[in-house]
Structure 1
Amino acid sequence: MDRDHRGWLPCLLGGAVFAVCMAGTTLPTPLYGLYQEKFGFSELTVTVVYAVYAFGVIGVLLLAGNASDTVGRRPVLMAGLGCAAASAVCFLAATGLGWLYAGRLLSGLSAGLFTGAATAYVMDLAPPGGGSRATFVATAANMGGLGCGPLLAGVLAQYADWPLYLPFAVHLALVACSLAVVAWLPETVRHQTSLSTVRPQRPGLPPQVRTVFGPAAIASFVGFALFGVFTSVSPAFLADSLDVRNHAVSGLIVALAFFASTAGQLVVGRVGVGRSLPLGCAALLAGLALLAGALRWDLLALVVLSAIVGGVGQGLAFRGALSAVAGASPEDSRAAVISTLFVVAYAGISVPVIGVGLLVGPLGLEGAGLVFIGCMAVLVSTAGAYLLRRPVRVGM
């Protein structure tokens, strides 16, 4: 198939597949309360179930993050879709907590396989000269897919039958369609080798990257931590403190954070990388402050504003961080540096979230949330102050 004569269709189809896979990783978000009622586990267990996903992503990034460069894009995406399908089956078959852990781990494996491979594939499939638009397609597919997951599950759980089964059955059907699409799309890696040639990637930081990497990594960590808390415990806060028990509403609020992140990433091209990092830190700090107000005064409007402002800040900070560390890295070690940044970012999704879960017992959800917000505010303020004193200059 000659993609030059098919315009943007292959690129857009690749983006659609990317979105389907990422939607599966956030699909359980508005359903955790229902699982708690069914299986009788604590808020700490919710956060651990959620965080297992991040460990799967980190493991794949370290062990096989560069696999698609050698074995080809399609085999890696097929494997990722296979993990996504297996994850959906685990949730459909769930009769206890072990199934949820297995489903989340497989979901993390699918996201880890897709994160780099699908981004590269979407860009590969773009028509000549379409690199900038292809980057937007990949970004929108990634964050948009993450946002569509809780929205889809929330709507189906609220307005259709079988709330713990129908969302995953629908996702399984979408994954089957995605497999057919990937089978139809062309392979873009010309010189493929066997899987045995894939070697684990060692995170690396050349000396010239270290001054940029520190504040960029902190901003990424805080942004992903904010997303982690939103997607793991916000449905419980909405239900217990605000009496918002509509699954579609809780799914929409979580989705807003991811959609706002997409908007924030788009703004980077206009404000520049040097400004986007400190601006992202400022927006993250504002989002944390709004979330603190929501926890303290039980106001739904502040939760919504926190999702939007924090999401924009995460988008600004993360795309700025990615551009900054890539621009400061030598070409022969750029992939290793970017992998290190992703490892730090996904650590932000897991470690603070589990910390919040541990504190819920002695402090309650509000107290645990305020401790988390205080810690993250100190981190992002430190990074922002450093960036104001030493602005990032990017050269690719």
Structure 2
Amino acid sequence: MNTSQKSNELNKKSNLPIIFFLSLSLITALINSSVPTPLYPYYKEIFKLSATMVSVVYGAYATGVIIALLVIGKLSNLFDDKRILILPSLFIVFIAGILFSRSNSFLDLFIARFLTGIATGGLTGAANISLLKICKKDNGKTAAFIAVLSFTLGLSLGPLISGLSIEYNFYYLKFPFYIISLFSAISFIGIAIYWPKKISEPITINNEKKYSNKILHVNKFIICAISLFLCWMFAACILTFGPTLSKLIGGDKGELYFSFIITAYLLIAGVSQIISKKLESKHSVIFGYTSQLFSFSLLFMGLYFKSPLLSLAGFILAGYAYGALFVGSASLVNHISNEENHARSISLLYLIAYTANWIPILIGFFVDIYAIENVTYISLLSFSLIEILVLFLFKKTQF
């Protein structure tokens, strides 16, 4: 082993602690975003909330993320040392966890959920850029893998932790959030201690480049944005109303059943993103739509026949569809963008996608008036018709 190879090995080993704590910070933020999901029926019952109010609590997260992307995203370019953004974001995660554990009203839940969105939006970009700088040697492949793995683990572990707490009646309105606050504190201390004295510059930095706010190929961008919006919309509806529907299908074991199901759904969605990157982007989107439509049929029948098995099959297909539509749509936007407008295109794409988290508020309004089963049937039929139309338009679009 020559001197250069020895130096690289030493760098890798010396960077392992900071990579671990940055990954833990991402996992913690994403756990905090998904851990309340199985608890919504309990919040609804304890705080006498309507379905609309529960949906508003869920949607507060998206509002926080969008504000963070708009405000903190611009600030990120001003600071080379990303700790300025990462450490305050972790502190907000800590505060949000404590506030969730002590919530006594709709307002407490709304603020905690909103703070979670702010923290997630502020943390994810800065942590990902830091990982990209630290793992520069392989052109960012390691950083990308760590990011996907952290997101998948975080989103998947959240419902599992709260679901098991409910099943064993172990302080389920408090314990999951104590875990989050503990993890955020550990991440905060670890990043503060192990932050490298010198971090490489990002892989592609050119301060002389001119950037444009103009979106190229508007029609193609719109069809990609709609595709991403639809898959996030359905995921938001699952996470908001799934716990209530699971009781209708799974009976007394509904909460635990849903916790395992949603964990599997989110894990499959993460794996699907990795698999779909190897496919041609347009094929990935088409496969995603096809799988999504089949999943709607299975979920419709699962609810109608009260069949956990049919529902499970529907969730598995929906998980694959989410990952395929996500990766395919984002990759196509990358393809139709140039260097000048790429950042603007990607930012706008995700802003549009995050607004999908507000759709459950509209559906929650109808759930308060009509039975949730009837609203679910109508929603699944409506989603199917919309996706068939968008799939037809997508196939007609030349990328």
Residues 43 and 223 of structure 1, relative CA distance in 2, 3 Å threshold: same
Specify the code of the residue in structure 2 equivalent to 1:336.
Answer: R
SS in structure 1 at match of 2:250: coil
Does the alignment pair 1:382 with 2:389? yes
Paired residues of 1:73 and 1:121 also in contact (CA < 8 A): yes
Give the aligned partner of residue 60 of structure 2.
52
Residues 21 and 298 of structure 1, relative CA distance in 2, 3 Å threshold: same
SS in structure 2 at match of 1:70: coil
Q: 2 CA distance for matches of 1:369 and 1:203? A: 42
Percentage identity across paired residues of the two chains: 23
Q: 2 CA distance for matches of 1:245 and 1:2? A: 52
- What is the CA-CA distance between 1:253 and the residue it aligns to? 1.4
Give the aligned partner of residue 304 of structure 1.
312
Alignment of 1:310-325 (within 5 A): 310-325=318-333
- What is the CA-CA distance between 1:252 and the residue it aligns to? 1.7
- What is the CA-CA distance between 1:321 and the residue it aligns to? 1.3
Q: 1 CA distance for matches of 2:47 and 2:116? A: 21
TM-score by length of structure 1 reads 0.89
SS in structure 2 at match of 1:118: helix
Specify the code of the residue in structure 2 equivalent to 1:270.
Answer: K
Specify the code of the residue in structure 1 equivalent to 2:87.
Answer: M
Give the aligned partner of residue 138 of structure 2.
129
Count of residue correspondences: 380
Give the aligned partner of residue 159 of structure 1.
168
Give the aligned partner of residue 260 of structure 1.
268
Give the aligned partner of residue 284 of structure 2.
276
Paired residues of 2:56 and 2:361 also in contact (CA < 8 A): yes
Residues 123 and 164 of structure 1, relative CA distance in 2, 3 Å threshold: same
Q: Which has the larger radius of gyration?
A: 2
Does the alignment pair 1:116 with 2:125? yes
Does the alignment pair 1:332 with 2:336? no
Give the aligned partner of residue 22 of structure 2.
14
Does the alignment pair 1:365 with 2:375? no
Specify the code of the residue in structure 2 equivalent to 1:223.
Answer: C
Residues 69 and 188 of structure 1, relative CA distance in 2, 3 Å threshold: farther
SS in structure 2 at match of 1:330: coil
* Structure 2 unaligned residues grouped into runs of 5+: 1-6, 203-210
Does the alignment pair 1:102 with 2:108? no
Deviations 1:266-305 (A, max 9, x none): 1123212231122112222222222222232222122222
* 71-80 vs 310-319, which moves further: 71-80
Q: 1 CA distance for matches of 2:189 and 2:88? A: 13
User: For 1:76, which of 70, 74, 85 is the aligned residue?
Assistant: 85
Deviations 1:142-197 (A, max 9, x none): 13211111111111232252111111111110111111222123374769xxxxxx
Paired residues of 1:80 and 1:113 also in contact (CA < 8 A): yes
Residues 280 and 115 of structure 1, relative CA distance in 2, 3 Å threshold: farther
SS in structure 2 at match of 1:271: coil
Residues 292 and 321 of structure 1, relative CA distance in 2, 3 Å threshold: same
Deviations 1:241-281 (A, max 9, x none): 43144533322211222111111101123212231122112
Give the aligned CA root-mean-square deviation in angstroms: 2.4
Paired residues of 2:250 and 2:257 also in contact (CA < 8 A): no
Specify the code of the residue in structure 1 equivalent to 2:372.
Answer: L
Specify the code of the residue in structure 1 equivalent to 2:137.
Answer: P
Give the aligned partner of residue 225 of structure 1.
233
Q: 1 CA distance for matches of 2:85 and 2:97? A: 19
